[in-house]
Amino acid sequence: MTYNHITLIQSNYSQSINPVDMVAPYSSIRLPIHGNMSGYGKVKWTVVNDYGGHELSESALK
């Protein structure tokens, strides 16, 4: 997957994670989180699809 943008959201605070790169299938990456973020909230991300368009998704952080 090629990520275009990742944002962590917690209450009224959000943090963009940049730069974002490609993640190979069946692999993982670690992204730096700055400030006072805890493990609750949500994460939104945009990936580049096979046609060059962008698809937005989000998930809860637990």
Cα–Cα nearest to 6, from 50, 37, 51: 37
Residue extents of the structural domains in the chain: 2-61
Asked whether 20 and 47 are in contact (CB, 8 A), the reply is no
Give CA–CA dist 38/36, Å, rounded. Answer: 7
- Give all strands (DSSP E) within the chain, no chain letters: 2-10, 13-17, 41-48, 54-61
pLDDT computed for residue 53 by the predictor: 93
Q: pLDDT tens across 5-54, in order?
A: 888 888 888 888 877 778 888 998 887 777 776 667 898 999 998 899 99
Sequence-ordered list of residues with C-beta below 8 angstroms from that of 62, at least 6 positions apart, any chain: 39, 40
* pLDDT score for 39: 66
What is the reported pTM? 0.73
The answer as to CATH 3.40.50.1820 being correct for domain 2-61 is no
Residue 58 has a pLDDT of 94
**pLDDT for the residue numbered 62:** 73
